[in-house]
Every structure is written in structure tokens, then in C-alpha cells.
């Protein structure tokens, strides 16, 4: 879940100076518009110490008109607060309609800290998260924009950040003993954070995970995301309201949404962009590895069958990335009666008559079997999103639905592994051309493949969001560098073996 925020992304001073002024004017303009709308914006900052929560809040207050912004930060409850139900202080501090509230150390502090340092009785943590869900749902139902930023640093980056502050005599005070204590608990903290984020992620209150290491990158990311969310929410609310009488236009009928183009972030290394596409394996190593892995998987496969442990493998990836080939290699290690390969294309007529998850539920296999999905439920947030088959509200809420679906599988004891097979755009072109040139492969290449290729950037950003929102501790994504097919197949093989081995050990 946090890997997308550990890429070391940076924005240069020049880029920043170029992008900041128009972004700032756009934000001010949107803020004016928000004032006339009947909803408040509630923006929550949580995350790792040192990742720039406070700085982001300060920057927003600096860039936007502070008269219509309230900032709230919370420490231990006061006497006044302790005498009332816990959420009294949050209700009291809500921003008015038309204004923005920035919340630091808010309702998310307690569940995260208590699960790291406290020893909450069973169920207590989930009850706290429940309370949050109900609270945010009520706000959203009332029309509020609810936005949540998780500011992130890797363990290493956090350590660097603290050390750097400690070197500066003026900044030294910022790093406390408690900060270092938190750092030593980093892994537990991240585990608690992931659980918290997953349980509180809803279409009406999505989390945005921001890499906090580079100040300029972090600032632009937060402010662009804030701007986009506000714009989207205003547009959504306007669409819902009965249209007011149109005002006569001086310029004679230009579309209402005209104006200077909206600012967006420059292309930055994405999660996929950060992969090492040169990873490769020579033929000899490949053959040796494959032979060993096949024996290993077969043993594990039979053991899982005996113990009644089911396995679900999910393959997603670019067209021509080699999903089919990787799957075919895997299945050579299994008994044909014990696995199914399920190719997922557009839903059938019958399937369309149900919830989109229904067609995956129906195929869940019995104990001890293996089911391999060649494309999967992730189509909802990939092709359906990019092609517009699913409405934004639909694919946005699908992240939570999918996480919940996978949680049910894993809690039932199913082994789940998810693969994204990644090739570069150039490599894809080469493979398409090779298919065209080879008569017996030509059927594999369709017009749709070429059309999808044109939307590469949209797919790439959908994939990044998908990994961010659905790569969880219990169901992580494995990103497979697949420019070299041999390398990719071995990585898939190894990952499947390791997952099975770990699951069987825990039985």
C-alpha cells in the first residue's frame, strides 16, 4: 500500500517555480466557488512523523484565503473534552458550509497509536474504526467533501529526516525522544496504519497516499490533489442540484467551464516507472531454475491439496506482457484435475445481470484447488475505468469492495497471489510487430490491442492507483519486470512457491 510512496520522487526548483503560481490562482478561484456551495471541505492529515503533515497544512493556509479555512490539531483531551463523548470535540470543530477545515492528529491518532503502544482488547480497535466510518459517512451524506492524506516516509527516509534535523541547531528541537521511539516501532506503526486505511477507505472518503520525502514534490502533490478533489466535488454537487437560471453571458455563450487550463503535476516516475526493466535471465539459468521450481511447486501443490488449502492466483498486465506464457509454465507443475485457468473477458449477458463481483464469487473453488485468473476483478478499476464502462463513483468504491472481497478469501485460509506483468511501451511495440509478422501468432493481435496502447498513460495511472489502494499486507501485489520473459516466469514461479510455503507453514 505504501510502496507508491517510497519511490524517491522529486520536483526541481525550476519546475516548482513554474507550476506553483498557476496552481495557487486556481486554488483561490476554487475556494471562492466553494464559498457559494452548500458544503464544507474536511481535509485530514495523518501519517508518518516528519513526512510533512504540519508543513502541508501551513502551506494550504498560506496559499489559500485563510479567512475561509480553520485548522484544528488535537492533543490529549482537555477536562472539558473528557467530560463529553469522545467525538464532541470533532463535532464542535467542524467547518461551516462553504469553508475548509484542516485536521491534524485528528480522529485517526487514537486507533493507530493505541494499536502500536496500547494493548486494546479484541474488537476495540475495530470499534474505533467503525466510529470513524460512521462519522465520515454522516458528514459525506450531508454533502461534505471528505479528503484524507496519508503522508508517508520509508523507515530509512524517516531516519534520514530526523538525523538531518538534529544536525541543524535551529531545528534540533523538532526531533523528540518520542519520535525516535516511534521510529523504532516503524513496522508495527505501518501495519496499524494499513489496517486503519483499509477499513476507513470509502468512495466518499478516499485516502491519498503522498510520498513525503521531497518538500516540493509533496507540496505540489497535496495541493494538486486538493484542487482536483474540490473541483470534482463542486461539479458533482452542481450536477445534482436543479440548475439555477443561467446568467446572461457577456462573451456570448462560451462554455461555463472555460478558463485557464487546470494545473497538473508534471510526469514523474511512477511505481511502474520505477521498475528495473533490464532485469533478465539467460537461457541456461532459466532452464535450471525452472526445473527446480517445477519440482518445488509440485510438492507444495500436492501438500496444499492434502490439507485442503485453496489457491487463487491473479494475473494482470499489459497486452502482450506474457501472462498466458507465465500461466502455462505454472500449470505444468500441477495436476490438470486440480486447477482451473479462468480467462476473464467482457462479462457475459448472464453475468451482467448481477453485481460485478458475483462472477468471481461464483468461480471460487473448493478446498485444495487452484484457480488462476487471466485478468480478474481488477478489470473494474482498469479497463472499466479507462474505457468509461464504470462510472467514477463505481470504480472508486471498487477499491474498498475488492479489498473486502480479498479479505474474505484470505481469512477463509485461501492463498492469494496477485501479479502485474510489466513491460515497457517499446517492448510492447516490438512484440505487437513480431505477432503481426508471424502468421500463427497474428490472431493474438487485435485492433483493441492497438487502441489500448493509445491509452497507455491512462492505464498506467489506473495501475498505479490500483496498486496503491489494493496492495495490502494480506494481499500484496507482486510487480513483475517482464521485458525478459524468462525473468518474469521465474519471478512468478518463485512468488507462488513462497506464498504457498508460508501458508502451509502457518497451518
Give the C-alpha separation, 152 to 4, whole Å: 10
Give the C-alpha separation, 496 to 487, whole Å: 14
Q: Minimum Å distance from CB 115 to its own copies?
A: 13
By CB under 8 A, tell whether 356 contacts its own copies. yes
Q: Which of residues 22, 25, 32, 91 is near its own copies by CB under 8 A? A: 91
By CB under 8 A, tell whether 127 contacts its own copies. yes
By CB under 8 A, tell whether 126 contacts its own copies. yes
For residue 245, what is its C-alpha cell? 437560471
Give the C-alpha separation, 149 to 48, whole Å: 11
Q: Please give the full DSSP string across 455-497, using - where no structure is assigned.
A: THHHHHHHHHHHHHHH--SSS-EEEEE-SSHHHHHHHHHHHHH
Of residues 314 and 409, the one with the C-beta less far from its own copies: 409
By CB under 8 A, tell whether 139 contacts its own copies. yes
User: Which one-letter DSSP state was computed for residue 7?
Assistant: S
By CB under 8 A, tell whether 76 contacts its own copies. no
Q: Which three-class secondary structure state does DSSP give residue 219?
A: helix
Q: Minimum Å distance from CB 45 to its own copies?
A: 21
Q: Minimum Å distance from CB 159 to its own copies?
A: 35
Rounded to 10 degrees, what is the CA torsion of 433, 435, 438, 441? -170
For residue 259, what is its C-alpha cell? 478558463
Stretch that binds its own copies, among 130-138, 161-169, 291-299, 445-453 (CB under 8 A): 130-138
User: Which among 85, 95, 88 has a CA at the least distance from the CA of 64?
Assistant: 95
Q: Minimum Å distance from CB 407 to its own copies?
A: 9
Q: Which of residues 412, 441, 455, 507 is near its own copies by CB under 8 A? A: 412
Q: Minimum Å distance from CB 106 to its own copies?
A: 16
Of residues 40 and 322, the one with the C-beta less far from its own copies: 40
Count of residues that interact with its own copies, criterion CB under 8 A = 53
By CB under 8 A, tell whether 261 contacts its own copies. no
Of residues 106 and 428, the one with the C-beta less far from its own copies: 106
Tell me which H or E stretch contains 30. Answer: helix 13-36
Q: Minimum Å distance from CB 96 to its own copies?
A: 4
Stretch that binds its own copies, among 175-183, 188-196, 326-334, 401-409 (CB under 8 A): 401-409
Long-range CB contacts (within 8 A, 24+) of 339-346: 339/369, 339/370, 339/371, 339/372, 340/365, 340/369, 340/370, 340/371, 340/372, 341/372, 341/374, 342/371, 342/372, 342/373, 342/374, 343/374, 343/375, 344/373, 344/374, 344/375, 344/376, 344/379, 345/375
Give the C-alpha separation, 89 to 135, whole Å: 13
By CB under 8 A, tell whether 340 contacts its own copies. no
Of residues 416 and 463, the one with the C-beta less far from its own copies: 416
Q: Which of residues 170, 245, 362, 505 is near its own copies by CB under 8 A? A: 362
Q: Which of residues 22, 28, 58, 92 is near its own copies by CB under 8 A? A: 92
Radius of gyration of the chain (CA): 25
For residue 344, what is its C-alpha cell? 476473464
Long-range CB contacts (within 8 A, 24+) of 26-29: 26/227, 26/260, 26/262, 26/263, 27/63, 27/64, 27/223, 27/226, 27/227, 28/63, 28/64, 28/65, 29/259
Q: Which three-class secondary structure state does DSSP give residue 75?
A: coil
By CB under 8 A, tell whether 57 contacts its own copies. no
Of residues 114 and 215, the one with the C-beta less far from its own copies: 114
By CB under 8 A, tell whether 242 contacts its own copies. no
Tell me which H or E stretch contains 359. Answer: helix 358-361
Stretch that binds its own copies, among 176-184, 268-276, 374-382, 397-405 (CB under 8 A): 397-405
Stretch that binds its own copies, among 50-58, 95-103, 183-191, 268-276 (CB under 8 A): 95-103
By CB under 8 A, tell whether 74 contacts its own copies. no
By CB under 8 A, tell whether 353 contacts its own copies. yes
Give the largest Cα separation in the chain, rounded: 79
Stretch that binds its own copies, among 23-31, 132-140, 180-188, 282-290 (CB under 8 A): 132-140
Q: Minimum Å distance from CB 415 to its own copies?
A: 13
The rounded Cα 353 to chain-centroid distance in angstroms is 29
Q: What stretches of 37-168 show up as alpha helix (H) in DSSP? A: 53-63, 79-82, 88-92, 109-117, 124-141, 155-167
Asked whether 315 and 382 are in contact (CB, 8 A), the reply is no
Q: Which of residues 168, 238, 404, 426 is near its own copies by CB under 8 A? A: 404
By CB under 8 A, tell whether 122 contacts its own copies. yes
By CB under 8 A, tell whether 14 contacts its own copies. no
Stretch that binds its own copies, among 79-87, 283-291, 434-442, 466-474 (CB under 8 A): 79-87
By CB under 8 A, tell whether 361 contacts its own copies. yes
Binding footprint of its own copies on the chain (CB under 8 A)? 40, 80, 83-88, 91-92, 94, 96-98, 121-124, 126-127, 130-131, 134, 138-139, 141-142, 144, 308, 310, 350, 352-358, 361-362, 364-367, 394, 397, 401, 404, 408-409, 411-412, 414
Amino acid at each position: 500500500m505504501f510502496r507508491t510512496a517510497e519511490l524517491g520522487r522529486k520536483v526541481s526548483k525550476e519546475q516548482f517555480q513554474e507550476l506553483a503560481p498557476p496552481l495557487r490562482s486556481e486554488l483561490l478561484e476554487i475556494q471562492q466557488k466553494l464559498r457559494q456551495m452548500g458544503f464544507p471541505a474536511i481535509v485530514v492529515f495523518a501519517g508518518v512523523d516528519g513526512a510533512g503533515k504540519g508543513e502541508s497544512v501551513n502551506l494550504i493556509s498560506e496559499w489559500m484565503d485563510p479567512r475561509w479555512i480553520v485548522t484544528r490539531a488535537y492533543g490529549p483531551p482537555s477536562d472539558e473534552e473528557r467530560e463529553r463523548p469522545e467525538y464532541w470535540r470533532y463535532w464542535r470543530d467542524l467547518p461551516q458550509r462553504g469553508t475548509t477545515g484542516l485536521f491534524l492528529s485528528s480522529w485517526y491518532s487514537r486507533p493507530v497509536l493505541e494499536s502500536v503502544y496500547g494493548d486494546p482488547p479484541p474488537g476495540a480497535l475495530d470499534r474505533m474504526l467503525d466510529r470513524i466510518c460512521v462519522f465520515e459517512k454522516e458528514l459525506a451524506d450531508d454533502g461534505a467533501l471528505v479528503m484524507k492524506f496519508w503522508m508517508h516516509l520509508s523507515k530509512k527516509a524517516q531516519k534520514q529526516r530526523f538525523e538531518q534535523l538534529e544536525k541543524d541547531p535551529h531545528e534540533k528541537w523538532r526531533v523528540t525522544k518520542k519520535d525516535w521511539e516511534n521510529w523504532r516501532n516503524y513496522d508495527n506503526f505501518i501495519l496499524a496504519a494499513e489496517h486503519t486505511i483499509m477499513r476507513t477507505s470509502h468512495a466518499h472518503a478516499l485516502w491519498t497516499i503522498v510520498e513525503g520525502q521531497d518538500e516540493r514534490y509533496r507540496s505540489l502533490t497535496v495541493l494538486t490533489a486538493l484542487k482536483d478533489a474540490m473541483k470534482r466535488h463542486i461539479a458533482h454537487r452542481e450536477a445534482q442540484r436543479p440548475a439555477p437560471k443561467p446568467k446572461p453571458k457577456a462573451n456570448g455563450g462560451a462554455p461555463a467551464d472555460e478558463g485557464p487550463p487546470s494545473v497538473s503535476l508534471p510526469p514523474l516516475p511512477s511505481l511502474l516507472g520505477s521498475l528495473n526493466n533490464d532485469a533478465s535471465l539467460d537461457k541456461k539459468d532459466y532452464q535450471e531454475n525452472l526445473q527446480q521450481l517445477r519440482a518445488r511447486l509440485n510438492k507444495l501443490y500436492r501438500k496444499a491439496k492434502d490439507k485442503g488449502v485453496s489457491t487463487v492466483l491473479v494475473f494482470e498486465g499489459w497486452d502482450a506482457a506474457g501472462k498466458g506464457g507465465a500461466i502455462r509454465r505454472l500449470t505444468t507443475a500441477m495436476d490438470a484435475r486440480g486447477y482451473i485457468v479462468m480467462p476473464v473477458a467482457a462479462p457475459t449477458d448472464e453475468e451482467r445481470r448481477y453485481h460485478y463481483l458475483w462472477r468471481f464469487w461464483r468461480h471460487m473453488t473448493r478446498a485444495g484447488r487452484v484457480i488462476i485468473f487471466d485478468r480478474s476483478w481488477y478489470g473494474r478499476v482498469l479497463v472499466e475505468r479507462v474505457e468509461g464502462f464504470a462510472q467514477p463513483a463505481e470504480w472508486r468504491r471498487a477499491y474498498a469492495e475488492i479489498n473486502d472481497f480479498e479479505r474474505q478469501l484470505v481469512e477463509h485460509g485461501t492463498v492469494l497471489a496477485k501479479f502485474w506483468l510489466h513491460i515497457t511501451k517499446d517492448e510492447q511495440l516490438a512484440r505487437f510487430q513480431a505477432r503481426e509478422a508471424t502468421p500463427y501468432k497474428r490472431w493474438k493481435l487485435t485492433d483493441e490491442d492497438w487502441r489500448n496502447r493509445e491509452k497507455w498513460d491512462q492505464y498506467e495511472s489506473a495501475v498505479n492507483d490500483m496498486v496503491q489502494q489494493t496492495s495490502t499486507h494480506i494481499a500484496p501485489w507482486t510487480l513483475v519486470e517482464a521485458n525478459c520473459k524468462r525473468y518474469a516466469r521465474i519471478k512468478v514461479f518463485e512468488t507462488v512457491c513462497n506464498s504457498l510455503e508460508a501458508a502451509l507453514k502457518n497451518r
